[in-house]
């Protein structure tokens, strides 16, 4: 998992293509027939049947016409990257629209869903209006229907001490050219300046958040997604009819918080929107595509030296070609994972530890640590908490390397470590991890077996603002002292800030052009 300011949980676990076709995608129309007050049935796919819609086509044509000639040619082409490029440009266009939470309310209809033409005419809409328009523009631009889904479901915000805040929501999924489904959150893409002060204040909340789909649809089909939240006996029209008021209460500030990543903080204002999109897409693909998983890309399984070698190679490519944003994205992703996954910050020297922007010294092979790494009950220095592998709280993969916690502490004494992940026959492996495999060149090497003595990734990693139930290293006690090194919240803050600083420095050191 990539280190983020606010993590999107488990989005890759869903079958975004759909689990089961709904053969009657009919709902009550949101607006009554004029003068009659009668509600009539409507096929939800009508909101996306825009292949020959002249209004949508005209807007798309204007968007393309405003691009430089080379970009126009790429937009219209079918070359590698052209469909992702079209998606990025349409997403950027959404910055000219606004989130209009209540403009489409009437006394008789609390939340009338708008067709794409209507959303364009009024310059914005709420979450479902914007999602319908975004999907319609993508398909009108030539993106295949089967690579686009409008999702109806819930946004779950996981707050401290097990509290979950739920909001019914609507968003878009796009399967990019690498085959990875991306969340396109229209309420983040639009101009959010008109939000009320209370909504703006909500953006300071940075909790792990989960998108849970109930139904997805495109212009061809409606599918249900099987989840514990969805009553499979409920008819689709009853589902939608019971949620129109809930969707109208959605606060877009919550979704904006979800998507605030390390790259935005490190590089926002320094690079173009197109460059940021390329960086984030590369980072996303590294995290989501289990077929290409390599622990060196994520600093997993103790491959720290090899991980930094890979970072250096990516940065060298970016230095040689400052338009190679994918290489910068791969380097930045790995840097974030180093600080999240490894034991470096545990033993590192800190700067302004109590401050909101407190951080560790940026890693370098010769940087001085607070204490020599030790993994027993005795701390490496008086100012450090123990990183104890001998207590029995952390596991080993005995199927790969039999041994005790003391054996693990002896094996890794004096070295920085990271957690094991995707090892064969690991009893701690989760579902997706179990489907992931280590490259043969690593798993067949002589130094691989002892990596079974590493604690599991979930037991020591600090990927998000609150620990998972599997975490064993740091405390989640409320209101810790801001310099308490045993507090999970502090570790997260220092690791995020250090990753941001290191990515920003890497960009500055390797960028030799004008403002991109």
Angstrom distance (rounded) from CA 76 to CA 344: 47
Query: For residue 291, what pLDDT is reported?
Result: 81
Angstrom distance (rounded) from CA 99 to CA 227: 29
Note the residue count of the chain. 516
Residue 241 has pLDDT above 60, yes or no: yes
Are the C-beta atoms of 27 and 44 separated by less than 8 Å?
yes
SS3 state at 213: strand
Looking from the CA of 296 toward its CB, the CA atoms found within 13 Å total 15
DSSP letter for each residue of 455-495: PBHHHH---SSS--TT--SSB--SS--TT-TTBHHHHHHHH
Query: How much of the chain, in percent, has pLDDT values that exceed 70?
Result: 91
Are the C-beta atoms of 184 and 174 separated by less than 8 Å?
yes
**The two three-digit tokens of residue 63, written as one number:** 């968007």
- 226 confidence band (pLDDT: 50, 70, 90): very high
Task: Of 234, 252, 233, give the one whose Cα is nearest residue 242.
Answer: 234
Average pLDDT over residues 290-317: 96
Other C-beta atoms closer than 10 Å to the C-beta of 40 total: 10
Which one is predicted more confidently, 143 or 32? Answer: 143
CB environment 255-290: b (16+ within 10 A), e (fewer): bbbbbbbbbebbbeeebeebbbbbbbbbbbbbbbee
Angstrom distance (rounded) from CA 411 to CA 395: 14
Are the C-beta atoms of 414 and 304 separated by less than 8 Å?
no
Instruction: Show the DSSP H helices in 94-126 as ranges.
Output: 116-122
Average pLDDT over residues 184-204: 59
Query: For residue 514, what pLDDT is reported?
Result: 65
Average pLDDT over residues 321-328: 95
- Strands 8-9, 209-217: pairing kind: parallel
Residue 105 has pLDDT above 60, yes or no: no
Query: For residue 113, what pLDDT is reported?
Result: 85
Phi first, then psi: give them for residue 125, nearest 5 degrees: 180, -170
**The two three-digit tokens of residue 57, written as one number:** 């086509």
Phi first, then psi: give them for residue 351, nearest 5 degrees: -120, 125
Angstrom distance (rounded) from CA 178 to CA 400: 32
Residue 29 has pLDDT above 50, yes or no: yes
Are the C-beta atoms of 418 and 301 separated by less than 8 Å?
yes
Query: For residue 206, what pLDDT is reported?
Result: 63
Query: For residue 165, what pLDDT is reported?
Result: 84
Burial of 461 (0-12, 13-18, 19+ CB in 10 A): buried
Are the C-beta atoms of 314 and 334 separated by less than 8 Å?
yes
Report which DSSP code applies to 174: E
Helix (H) or strand (E) holding 42: strand 41-43
Query: For residue 245, what pLDDT is reported?
Result: 62
Span of 65-74, 92-101, 383-392 with lowest mean pLDDT:
92-101
Report which DSSP code applies to 239: H
Angstrom distance (rounded) from CA 500 to CA 266: 5
For CA atoms 294, 297, 302, 308, give the dihedral sign.
Answer: positive
Residue 1 has pLDDT above 60, yes or no: no
Strand partners, 155: 167, 211
Q: Which long-range contacts (CB under 8 A, 24 or more apart) does 439-446 make?
A: 439/294, 442/294, 442/295, 442/296, 442/301, 442/303
- 197 confidence band (pLDDT: 50, 70, 90): very low
Average pLDDT over residues 61-80: 94
Residues 6 or more apart from 165 whose CB is under 8 A from it?
A: 156, 157, 159
- 509 confidence band (pLDDT: 50, 70, 90): very high
Query: For residue 109, what pLDDT is reported?
Result: 47
Q: Which residue has the tokens 């019914």?
A: 168
Phi first, then psi: give them for residue 175, nearest 5 degrees: -90, 110
Most confident of 271-280, 410-419, 458-467: 410-419
Task: Of 464, 474, 462, give the one whose Cα is nearest residue 384.
Answer: 474
Task: Of 78, 181, 190, give the one whose Cα is nearest residue 123.
Answer: 190
**The two three-digit tokens of residue 462, written as one number:** 């600090």
pLDDT digits (tens, 9 = 90+) for 120-173: 999 998 889 999 999 999 999 999 999 999 999 998 888 777 788 888 899 999
């Amino acid at each position: 998992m990539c280190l983020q300011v606010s993590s999107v949980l488990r989005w890759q676990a869903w079958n975004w293509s759909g689990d089961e076709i709904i053969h009657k995608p009919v709902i009550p129309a949101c607006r009554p027939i004029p003068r009659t007050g009668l509600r009539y049935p409507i096929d939800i796919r009508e909101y996306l049947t825009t292949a020959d819609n002249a209004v949508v086509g005209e807007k798309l044509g204007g968007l393309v016409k405003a691009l430089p000639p080379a970009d126009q040619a790429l937009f219209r082409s079918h070359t590698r990257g052209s469909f992702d490029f079209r998606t990025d440009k349409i997403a950027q266009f959404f910055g000219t629209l606004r989130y209009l939470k209540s403009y489409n309310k009437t006394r008789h209809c609390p939340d009338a869903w708008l067709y794409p033409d209507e959303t364009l005419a009024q310059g914005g809409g709420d979450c479902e209006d914007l999602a319908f328009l975004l999907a319609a523009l993508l398909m009108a631009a030539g993106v295949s229907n089967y690579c686009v889904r409008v999702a109806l479901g819930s946004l779950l915000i996981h707050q401290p001490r097990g509290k979950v805040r739920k909001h019914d929501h609507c968003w878009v999924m796009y399967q990019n050219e690498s085959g990875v489904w991306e969340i396109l959150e229209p309420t983040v893409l639009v101009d959010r300046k008109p939000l009320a002060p209370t909504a703006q204040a909500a953006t300071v909340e940075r909790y792990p958040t989960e998108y849970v789909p109930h139904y997805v649809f495109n212009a061809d089909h409606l599918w249900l997604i099987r989840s514990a939240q969805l009553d499979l006996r409920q008819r689709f029209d009853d589902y939608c009819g019971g949620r129109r008021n809930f969707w109208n209460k959605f606060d877009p500030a919550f979704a904006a918080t979800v998507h605030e990543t390390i790259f935005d903080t490190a590089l926002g204002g320094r690079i173009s929107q197109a460059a940021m999109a390329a960086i984030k897409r590369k980072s996303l693909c590294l995290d989501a595509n289990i077929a290409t998983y390599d622990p060196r890309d994520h600093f997993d399984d103790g491959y720290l030296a090899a991980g930094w070698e890979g970072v250096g190679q990516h940065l060298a490519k970016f230095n040689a070609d400052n338009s190679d944003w994918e290489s910068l994205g791969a380097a930045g992703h790995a840097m974030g994972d180093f600080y999240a996954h490894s034991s470096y910050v545990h033993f590192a020297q800190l700067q302004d530890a109590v401050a909101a922007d407190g951080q560790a010294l940026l890693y370098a092979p010769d940087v001085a640590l607070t204490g020599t790494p030790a993994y027993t009950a005795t701390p490496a220095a008086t100012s450090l908490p123990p990183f104890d592998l001998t207590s029995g709280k952390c596991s080993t993969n005995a199927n790969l390397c039999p041994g005790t916690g003391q054996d693990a502490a002896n094996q890794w004494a004096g070295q920085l470590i990271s957690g094991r992940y995707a090892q064969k026959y690991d009893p701690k492996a989760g579902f997706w991890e179990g489907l992931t495999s280590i490259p043969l060149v690593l798993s067949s090497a002589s130094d691989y077996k002892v990596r079974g003595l590493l604690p599991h990734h979930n037991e020591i990693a600090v990927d998000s603002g609150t620990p998972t139930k599997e975490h064993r290293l740091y405390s989640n006690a409320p209101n810790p002292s801001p310099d308490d090194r045993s507090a999970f919240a502090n570790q997260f803050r220092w690791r995020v800030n250090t990753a941001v600083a290191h990515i920003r420095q890497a960009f500055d050191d390797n960028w030799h052009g004008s403002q991109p």
